[in-house]
A and B are shown apart, each in its own frame.
Chain A
Amino acid sequence: MNPLIPSPDPIPLPAPAWLLEGLLVFTLFLHLLPMSLLMGGGSLTVISEFLGRRDDRHRRLAQATARLLPVVVAFTITLGIAPLLFLQVVFGPLFFSSSILMAWPWLSIVGMMLVGYYGYYWHSFQFERLGRRAVWVTLASAALFIIIGLLFTSNMVLMLTPARWGALYKAGRSGMQLGLAEPTVLPRFLHMFVASLALSGLGIAILGAVKARADTAFGTWVRQYGLRWFVAATWLQFAVGFWFLASLPASIRSLFLGGGTVETGLLIVALSLAVISLLTIQRWLAFGTTAILGTVALMVVIRDRLRAAYLASEFDPAKLAIQPQMAIFALFVLILLCGIAAIAWMVWKFALANVPRTQQ
């Protein structure tokens, strides 16, 4: 074991590690959906805004997606808190160490988030007033969120590779490392980014399907346009994904190429679902969407297995001491159910009243 890895917290885990890791995986899946719409949606909005200078359909589309972006940011942040919480509880010794090595860039995420978020608000509320300049606001915000994504990838890789820590620590103790000079960081980030383009394309297609109820021609066009992005990005993903796989250390890579039954099996099913989605989505939007969400969910599990493979000799959550607090866990589940009910009720009321009162 690497001598730099901090000892586990002397206070035992308040639940078995599998439960905390399970919650980590599940809430990360929830987070990745709005996160993808944020990363990809920002970029696609920029593109539509530029095209919208010539093509009115693109202008309308950009306006619609730009209005949604602030809400998407809020969901990304809110749903991001839970996985980060469980990550810190289980993998704290790794996560805190890597974060401190890149402390300044890591902290700067908060500032970038604030500016990017306000940018989207500004854009959403002042769309008409900003006119042609609006696109620059989106571009700036989108760029900030992409940088945030890159820093996240970098930290997530750095926490899995303690062997790199000593050299980075020696190179400077003021938390200025970026950790980008590692062969898997770029493909891993691009893997995420291309996935977010695909999912955002899908999001736009769904938006189009909804719009088609009021305006068939525009809605149908939006749906087709979104699907083009989805299909193109997903095909591209096969290349990027294999690049990422190829960049992994050989011993880990082989697990996913036949070496490990579970790892390989998961990967095969995930890829098959993606192919199924590609083949069916033009016709059956809902079915294709479900299939690709299955791929995303499995990819989150695969990601967890990848982490375990990286840490095999360094850190095993199953070995951490536990002292379950089941009563309070039960309370959490109860409150979670109430919370979901409250949210569902509000969203239902809101969706039901889909005609503004002033326009009745």
Chain B
Amino acid sequence: MNYLVWEIPQIGGGMLIGIISILHVFVSHFAIGGGLYLVLAERKAYRENDPAALEYVKSHSFFFVLVVLVFGAVSGVGIWWSIGLVSPAATSTLLHVFVWAWAIEWVFFAVEIVAAFVYYYGWDRLDRHTHLIVGWIYFIAAWLSLFMINGILTFMLTPGRWLMTREFWHAFWNPTAIPSLIIRTMACLALAGLYGLVTAGAIPERKLKAKMVRFAATWLLPASLVLPLAGAWYISQIPPLAREISMGDSPAVTIFAGLSIALSAVLFVFTFFGPYQRPQHFTLPFAFMLALVGLSVTGVTEWVREAVRKPYVIYGYMYSNGITRRDQEIIEHDGALQAAKWVTTREVREDNRLEVGRNLYEIQCASCHTINGFNGMRFAVKGWREEFIDFQLQHLSELKGFMPPFMGTDAERRALAAWLADLNPKVPPITEPLAQRTVPPIAVAMGGAQTADQ
């Protein structure tokens, strides 16, 4: 309500962030595990004095640079860009709580990038020993940057004692920080193995291929042993409501949570009986299939992690729509239109109820809903009469545990109900597209608007 809302038709902001972050997570975890994969594979080739294997590691590192340095880095910037646009208030909170953590993360990132370049361009220039050290520097810096980000990410779901103390270290070492760090580290190793399978699967020479395929497949094994335990630990630490959402209360989230476990199991079983046991029969299409399953696991898991945080973006501190508990008090006192900055009107009248409703939708609902698309408002209230909608708005946080309550005056709530009711035609058969019908002209002089925030 402090910031203006960027409305993204059809997909909504959450989905936009989701798409970018899933791709980023998939690549960035590989970026970390892959670093270790490179140094260990390189060392193995030296020890076994196997020039062909060394050639493979070199070509893998080329692939690595193209994927990691470019896509990994740019998509990471992409997440930052998109969260600032979609959830500026939450982004601002994370920046204020964690500025120095971000700054430290940036140092690690910079070291990581330089190390990757020196490693890649250094194949023919550096002596073996130095080259390996550079590889280790890369991996350590990359893992440390995960270490920093992990503290910040987990804070959003379990801010823990920070809610009371506002202490940096309480925020960073929050209840899920360690289990999540273990999970992510395991995921890094597993993804390194998956990418390794893709490049090893492409080796033409049969003996070398079998050797490297088996080597790559081994990387998935620690994850299959540790993940169930770390996962259980993690789940034991998340807020009860979040646990309920993922275990029955929300069918969609529950299905996805189940899929995350099932697909991981599929991945490990297939890797174990496929490339690990019979590396000589491994084929490239099979490698791509495994990688695809890996991407799906990443996708559903990240999706669930985001979904269970509802109705909050920072648990117990700020709702998904950027309204903090403190803002909530202000709204209860002054009304939502008065408390907000970017609205086209500040009073409810008989003739502007639809406009008011539209504004309130934008401030309070658009972070999770769209009008006509994903989680569309129009479908949510279909078949509901205005009075019934108004009744439901009074119980929004009970209707679905993962929605914040409606915040505002009675008149504002009724205006939102009127706008919602107006999304669907009163008489059943739908014949005309409704998209444009509902938006009242924006006709208020913004400059003349008064503020009520201070």
Q: Interface on A for B, CB 8 Å cutoff?
A: 3-7, 9-15, 20, 23, 71, 74-75, 77-79, 81-82, 85-86, 88-89, 92-93, 96-97, 99-101, 103, 106-107, 109-110, 113-114, 117-118, 121, 165-167, 169-170, 173-175, 323, 325, 328-329, 331-332, 335-336, 338-339, 342-343, 346-347, 349-350, 353-358
| Known A6-B2, A14-B100, A78-B110; contact A99-B85, beta-carbon cutoff 8 A | yes
For the complex formed, measure the closest distance between the CB of A314 and the CB atoms of chain B, giving whole angstroms.
Answer: 13
| Known A175-B85, A335-B104; contact A353-B77, beta-carbon cutoff 8 A | no
A114 & B74 in contact (Cβ 8 Å cutoff): yes
Task: Name A118's closest neighbour in chain B (CB-CB).
Answer: B70
Q: How far is the CA of A117 from the CA of B3 in the complex (A)?
A: 32
| Known A81-B106, A89-B96; contact A110-B101, beta-carbon cutoff 8 A | no
A71 & B4 in contact (Cβ 8 Å cutoff): no
Q: Which chain B residues in 185-226 approach chain A with CB under 8 Å?
A: none
Q: How far is the CA of A78 from the CA of B113 in the complex (A)?
A: 8
| Known A85-B99, A175-B6; contact A350-B125, beta-carbon cutoff 8 A | yes
24 A-B residue contacts at CB 8 Å? A3-B447, A3-B449, A7-B2, A14-B99, A15-B100, A77-B77, A78-B113, A81-B106, A81-B109, A89-B99, A103-B85, A110-B82, A114-B71, A117-B70, A121-B66, A170-B446, A173-B4, A174-B9, A175-B6, A325-B100, A335-B104, A338-B107, A342-B111, A353-B127
Which residues from chain A contact B341 at a C-beta distance below 8 Å?
3-7
From A89, A101, A110, A175, contact of B78 by CB (8 A): A110
Which 10 pairs of residues, A with B, have the shortest CB-CB distance? A166-B446, A96-B88, A339-B107, A11-B96, A110-B78, A6-B2, A328-B100, A356-B124, A3-B451, A103-B6
A92 & B71 in contact (Cβ 8 Å cutoff): no
B4 & A101 in contact (Cβ 8 Å cutoff): yes
Tell me if B450 counts as interface (CB < 8 A to partner A).
Answer: yes
Q: How far is the CA of A355 from the CA of B89 in the complex (A)?
A: 52
Which residues from chain B contact A77 at a C-beta distance below 8 Å?
73-74, 77
Compute the total of residue contacts between A and B using a CB distance below 8 Å: 213
- Which of B115-123, B393-401, B430-438 makes up part of the contact surface? B115-123
Q: How far is the CA of A183 from the CA of B324 in the complex (A)?
A: 38
Which residues from chain B contact A78 at a C-beta distance below 8 Å?
73, 109-110, 113
Which residues from chain A contact B5 at a C-beta distance below 8 Å?
100, 173
Q: How far is the CA of A121 from the CA of B453 in the complex (A)?
A: 50
Q: Interface on B for A, CB 8 Å cutoff?
A: 2-9, 20, 66, 69-71, 73-75, 77-78, 81-82, 84-85, 88-89, 91-93, 95-97, 99-104, 106-111, 113-115, 117-118, 121-122, 124-127, 130, 134, 137, 141, 166, 168, 324, 326, 341-342, 344, 362, 442, 445-447, 449-451, 453-454
Sample of 9 more A-B contacts, CB < 8 Å, known A82-B106, A96-B3, A117-B70: A3-B341, A13-B99, A88-B91, A92-B91, A109-B81, A165-B446, A166-B446, A328-B100, A356-B125
Which residues from chain A contact B124 at a C-beta distance below 8 Å?
356-358
Task: Name A6's closest neighbour in chain B (CB-CB).
Answer: B2
A100 & B106 in contact (Cβ 8 Å cutoff): no
Which residues from chain B contact A20 at a C-beta distance below 8 Å?
99
Task: Name B77's closest neighbour in chain A (CB-CB).
Answer: A110
Q: How far is the CA of A81 from the CA of B79 in the complex (A)?
A: 13
A113 & B96 in contact (Cβ 8 Å cutoff): no
From A3, A15, A74, A339, contact of B117 by CB (8 A): A74
A99 & B84 in contact (Cβ 8 Å cutoff): yes
B109 & A331 in contact (Cβ 8 Å cutoff): no
With most chain B CB atoms within 10 A of its CB, the pick from A323, A329, A350 is A350
From A82, A167, A349, contact of B126 by CB (8 A): A349
A347 & B114 in contact (Cβ 8 Å cutoff): yes
With most chain B CB atoms within 10 A of its CB, the pick from A328, A338, A343, A346 is A346
For the complex formed, measure the closest distance between the CB of B439 and the CB atoms of chain A, giving whole angstroms.
Answer: 9
Q: How far is the CA of A169 from the CA of B7 in the complex (A)?
A: 12
Q: How far is the CA of A359 from the CA of B134 in the complex (A)?
A: 22
Which residues from chain B contact A71 at a C-beta distance below 8 Å?
117
A328 & B168 in contact (Cβ 8 Å cutoff): yes
Q: How far is the CA of A166 from the CA of B104 in the complex (A)?
A: 37
A347 & B118 in contact (Cβ 8 Å cutoff): yes
Task: Name B122's closest neighbour in chain A (CB-CB).
Answer: A350
B107 & A332 in contact (Cβ 8 Å cutoff): yes
Q: How far is the CA of A166 from the CA of B449 in the complex (A)?
A: 10
Which residues from chain B contact A74 at a C-beta distance below 8 Å?
69, 73, 113, 117
B69 & A100 in contact (Cβ 8 Å cutoff): no
From A11, A14, A118, A169, contact of B342 by CB (8 A): A169
Task: Name A108's closest neighbour in chain B (CB-CB).
Answer: B81
From B7, B74, B97, B115, contact of A346 by CB (8 A): B115
A3 & B103 in contact (Cβ 8 Å cutoff): no
